[in-house]
Structure 1
Amino acid sequence: MGGLMLILSLCLWAGSMFVVQGEDPYIFFTWNVTYGTISPLGVPQQGILINGQFPGPNINSTSNNNIVVNVFNNLDEPFLLTWNGVQQRKNSWQDGVLGTNCPVPPGKNYTYHFQVKDQIGSYIYYPVIAMHKAAGGFGGLRINSRLLIPVPYADPADDYTILAGDWFSKGHTSLKKILDSGRNLGRCDGVHINGKVAKGDGKDQPLFTMESGKTYKYRICNVGIKTSLNIRFQGHPMKLVEMEGSHTVQNVYESLDVHVGQCYSVLVTANQEPKDYYVVASTRFTRQMVTATGIIRYTNGKGPASPELPPAPVGWAWSLNQFRTFRWNLTASAARPNPQGSYHYGSINITRTIKLSNTAGKVDGKLRYAINGVSYVDPPTPLKLAEYYNVADKVFKYDNIADDPPAKISEITLEPIVLNLTHRTFIEIIFENRETAIQSWHLSGYSFFAVAIETGTWTPEKRKNYNLLDAVSRHTIQVFPNSWAAILLTFDNCGMWNIRSEIWDRHYLGQQLYVSVLSPARSLRDEYNKPDNSLLCGIVESMPKPPPYSI
């Protein structure tokens, strides 16, 4: 009897050890990045493919999955991917931007390893070096809710991804040369939907199929480089259910403005006459509207799509009013990002207010874009590596822009921009657009509360207009011409994180910065150590590895 009890005790002990040591599931990918011929506007040109695909493969994951992506760079120049909106808790080493990662040299590979911790929703990945994004290399990344946690709508009949964006026929190397010469890119040549444009000649193959009476989920992302898009379904309204990782109040829309870098999820019910219909993407805030269509086909349907497309909205005031209808679904029980602090964000005291004003100007006769008078340039040594190896003072200066810039900025300087933020402080950031072009801003590593967008100039009295109850938690926000946007968040995710313009010519010419959130205790509870497979470059390339963080 004593022996049996011993065996049972050992079994129970072993079982408990298994539970403690067990990891969340892993999903593995091997990606070969190459050049190839693509024709998004019907004219062959060089594009960037992943495993021969344009757009790239869709990552289909579930909350808390570990994602391992081994990327082989078969291009003739350095390459780097970022995972737009994936929060990378305590792990800016995997963010895939030049402030944290050395680029992958031609003929080499790098393995990303990150966990989609406590997230759900629709995201994208894309290349960040030079103008690679203008040639492809992008794709969808979805994070499904775990089966044990319900979502606030019935399971759809299918789950589709729409990657729409503006397109330039010149190619990424030509676009880079235009910007390097000090000129503006001008307007796009067209728009694509999943790398295609329907010809409307009756021979188009459907992008998606639907069966009468069933409801489908469409994840809509703007993967373009500079142009906001309006997305609409011919004859079918959309029910908005998720936005950049947050379940939303389920309002119904005839069309949605999706700004560069943003992703929305909608439900569409196949309740019309069984035939073909168009999904429509058209440019917004451009002098001439450019439109692309794709076919949605009812199974067993008969008849082509009507050539009469649903009209696009006019003016940016319409878009601003639509933003004000977006609300966070506070009753949803599915995984919701806890944006670094309490859900009662409206009652937290603001410890620092930072105003970021975008401006355009000339430096040595060439166009540059700046934030608070400074245009960002990438140093040869990634900022995060410089911090980790304790040589930050040789690479950049902290807090080299003012929190409250002057009303008029007459001169633009060139240097890295790094804000030093105290761990776990609650901060207000005001994006101030002093120009006549719409802006789109992204913050990596975090979700923030998008509490207001308004016209005119921000003042502290404007806080009385903030939504302090159910503003959507998201990672990208647009700022309309001569307007401002306010976000609130607690910076509790240690690392070096990028605040960047999603308007890619602006990003390339300096409209970005980094925020450094350091662990005071250098503890693994706050931040992971540098991965052993990290590429080294710049002044740290031959330096000895610093002592690792510990518990």
Structure 2
Amino acid sequence: MASVMYALLLCLSAGALSMVQGEDPYLFFTWNVTYGTISPLGVPQQAILINGQFPGPNINSTSNNNIVLNVFNNLDEPFLVTWNGVQQRKNSWQDGTLGTMCPIAPGTNFTYRFQVKDQIGSYMYYPVTAMHRAAGGFGGLRINSRLLIPVPYADPEDEYTVMIGDWYTKSHTALKKILDSGRTMGRPTGVLINGKNAKGDGKDEPLFTMKPGKTYKYRVCNVGLKNSLNFRIQGHPLKLVEMEGSHTVQNTYESLDVHVGQCFSLLVTADKEPKDYYMVASTRFTKTVLTGKGIIRYENGNGPASPELPEAPVGWAWSLNQFRSFRWNLTASAARPNPQGSYHYGKINITRTIKIVNSASKVDGKLRYAVNGVSHVESETPLKLAEYFGVADKVFKYDTIEDEPPATVEDKITLAPNVVNQTFRDFVEIIFENHEKSIQSWHLDGYSFFAVAIEPGRWTPEKRKNYNLLDGVSRHTIQVFPKSWAAIMLTFDNAGMWNVRSEQPERCYLGQQFYVSVLSPARSLRDEYNLPETAQLCGIVKDLPKPPPYSS
């Protein structure tokens, strides 16, 4: 009896200790992914809905929250969602890419479990399987700042998520067949704002309402497929306050170029005549300009929105100059209470330089996109699982691309899983060099990086003298203009297998992506979580015994 009482006391003590230490809050979600019919551009078409919604529901969280999200796949093919920009510290197992996870089979469910650790900001989620993103399945993900850490602006009256993107009336299956046949998808049909395009016939319902005199926060993300978009609101200046997880210097703009995969947070004050106004998103760098509109209505306003839309800028030089105006707010604290500027990235020695050159060519008569001459192909076994189970040599080879690609890299394309081996905690410079005539948009999972330069021409080491080594914005996507290059810098301190991809799904699907393997030599829980017990296994690892777990 005494031993039982002693054991009970130990259990109670342990429970009390865990309650004292506390755990960050949990948020629970259930998603039912289904097909549905929508007609955003007047043509009925099949869409992917989440809980019956298009776009999908907004995830509203706070720094360090634990998210538990159960996804039921009611489609007729495998499905997988990635969390664009959420860093998944030590947890690439939940990243939602085909190189790290098995897709969710039709008629089954999978529960994502991850923490939005040490992050704030505006993000989005979207499907990575097939061409599902062209049918929906996307939405916004907010990470609010903890109350104990003030944001560098007054609390807005309300916050609105704005999903802008180009849109095709062809179905996602038709677009996939086009790509599989070796052709390009061609031009999109129109532009949507939160899944709609106002007709301007006086019958449009407002997307958002504002009270006169109040200030609102708009979280704007380009979740489209191909085109950069210029975003603006009739008569209302846009104050930029946050960009992909970083507080920025609060410049004011008449309009902002939002490239594919990028998210901005803007403050808008309702200080104009009380009536309706259009928010506008139009394609950039295209011969034919496509425009999407949405209504913003003042409460108790009287009068329709003016049919005269504010003009968009012309040319990519304007967009480049806008990029150069973006600055990291060095005095604001982000997810942690220390100022952003306390991290002096510009004083860290570079240990490795990787130059990435994108190219397009045909292999056996079919269009493929490549990185340094290698066009990535998905394997039946996710790369991360193959590595973890010790069978990587049966699935892929490391370092299929060179850090300095040869001058002839664009002449020939090789099809293979594309994995770069990266030393844990090294500080690395990555150069994205675009020799094509179209704009590129790149994303890196698992990290934020410092966007230190974009310039026309070819990169050389002498170009480093033009880098912004003081207040370049820490973010997770960067555009590369035609015949130009972009430079980013980061420390690879997040162990795992991480995807670097074109944010344009056509290019990503046809090979313009690669993975970076960042292994911790210690195999310790300090650096990386163990494979979750609930992880789905597929390919050659499906029936293999699990390796010994990492220790603490």
Q: How does 1:2-13 map to 2 (within 5 A)?
A: none
2:357 corresponding residue in structure 1:
357
Pair 1:101 & 2:101 matched: yes
Alignment check: 8 A CA contact 1:450 1:474 kept: yes
CA distance in 1, matches of 2:247, 2:80: 30
Query: SS at the partner of 1:362?
Result: strand
Preserved CA contact (<8 Å) 2:91 2:496: yes
Q: Structure 1, residues 199-236: CA drift from partner, whole Å, max 9, x if none?
A: 10111000000011000000000000111000000000
Equivalent residue, structure 1, for 2:192: 192
Per-residue deviation, 1:42? 2.3
- Superposed, which structure 2 residues align to 1:128-527 within 5 Å? 128-335=128-335, 343-409=343-409, 410-527=411-528
Q: Retained in 2: the 8 A contact 1:58–1:139? A: yes
Is this contact kept in 1: 2:204–2:295, CA < 8 A?
yes
Residue matched to 1:543 = 544
Cα distance per residue 1:354-377 (max 9 Å; x no partner): 001000000001000000001000
Q: 1:337 to 1:537 in 2, by over 3 A?
A: farther
Aligned CA distance change for structure 1 residues 143 and 396 (closer, same or farther; 3 Å):
same
Are the counterparts in 2 of residues 339 and 446 from structure 1 also a CA contact under 8 Å?
A: no
Q: Which residue of 1 aligns with 2:29?
A: 29
- Whole-Å Cα distance in 1 between the matches of residues 28 and 67 of structure 2? 6
Aligned equivalent of 1:4: none
Q: Match for residue 124 of structure 2?
A: 124
Q: 1:478-518: per-residue Cα shift (whole Å, max 9, x none)?
A: 00000000000000000000000001100000000000000
- CA drift of 1:148 comes to 1.1
Q: Tell me how far apart the structure 2 counterparts of residues 232 and 446 of structure 1 sit (CA, whole Å).
A: 29
Q: Helix, strand or coil: the match of 2:317? A: helix
Which whole-Å CA distance do the structure 1 matches of 2:286 and 2:29 have between them?
39
* 1:327-364 Cα shifts (integer Å, max 9, x gaps): 00011124269999971111110000000100000000
1:519 deviates by: 1.1
Q: Classify 1:20/1:461 alpha carbon distance in 2 versus 1 (closer, same or farther; 3 Å).
A: farther
Secondary structure of the corresponding residue to residue 493 of structure 1? coil
Identity %: 80
Distance 1:338 1:189, change over 3 A: farther
Name stretches of at least 5 consecutive residues in structure 2 with no aligned partner.
1-8
Q: Which runs of 5+ in 1 are unaligned?
A: 1-8
Deviation sequence 1:74-95 (CA, Å, 0-9, x none): 0000000000000000000000
Quick one: which amino acid aligns to residue 475 of structure 1? H
Check 1:247–1:340 CA distance in 2 against 1; reply closer, same or farther (3 A cut). Answer: closer
Query: Is 1:328–1:472's contact at 8 Å kept on the other side of the alignment?
Result: yes
Task: Describe the SS at the equivalent of 2:358.
Answer: strand
Q: 1:192 to 1:338 in 2, by over 3 A?
A: farther
Counterpart of 2:104 in 1: which secondary structure? coil
Q: Structure 1 residue 407: deviation in Å?
A: 2.0
Per-residue deviation at 1:105?
0.4
Deviation, 1:19, is: 4.9
Q: CA deviation at 1:44?
A: 1.4
Deviation for aligned residue 1:39: 1.6
Q: Are the aligned partners of 1:152 and 1:334 in contact in 2 as well (CA < 8 Å)?
A: no
CA spacing shift, 1:133–1:386, aligned 2, 3 Å: same
Task: Indicate how the Cα distance of structure 1 residues 406 and 104 shifts in structure 2: closer, same or farther if over 3 A, else same.
Answer: same
Q: What's the counterpart of residue 114 of structure 1?
A: 114
The CA deviation at 1:406 is: 1.5
Letter in 1 for 2:319: S
The 5-angstrom pairing of residues 54-69 of structure 1 reads 54-69=54-69
Amino acid at match of 1:172: H
In 2: Cα distance, 1:383 partner to 1:456 partner:
35
Partner of 2:5: none
- 1:80 matched to 2:80? The reply is yes
Superposition deviation, residue 14 in structure 1: 7.2
**CA-based RMSD:** 1.8
- Residue 482 to residue 50, structure 1, CA distance change in 2 (3 Å): same
Moved over 6 A (4+): 12-16, 337-342
Q: Distance in 2 between matches of 1:389 and 1:240?
A: 45
Q: TM-score, normalised by structure 2?
A: 0.96
CA–CA distance in structure 2, aligned partners of residues 78 and 258 of structure 1: 30
1:464 match: secondary structure? helix
Matched position secondary structure for 1:324: helix
Measured after TM superposition, the shift of residue 16 of structure 1 is 7.0
Name the SS of the counterpart of 1:102 in structure 2: coil
- In structure 2, give the amino acid aligned to 1:503: Q
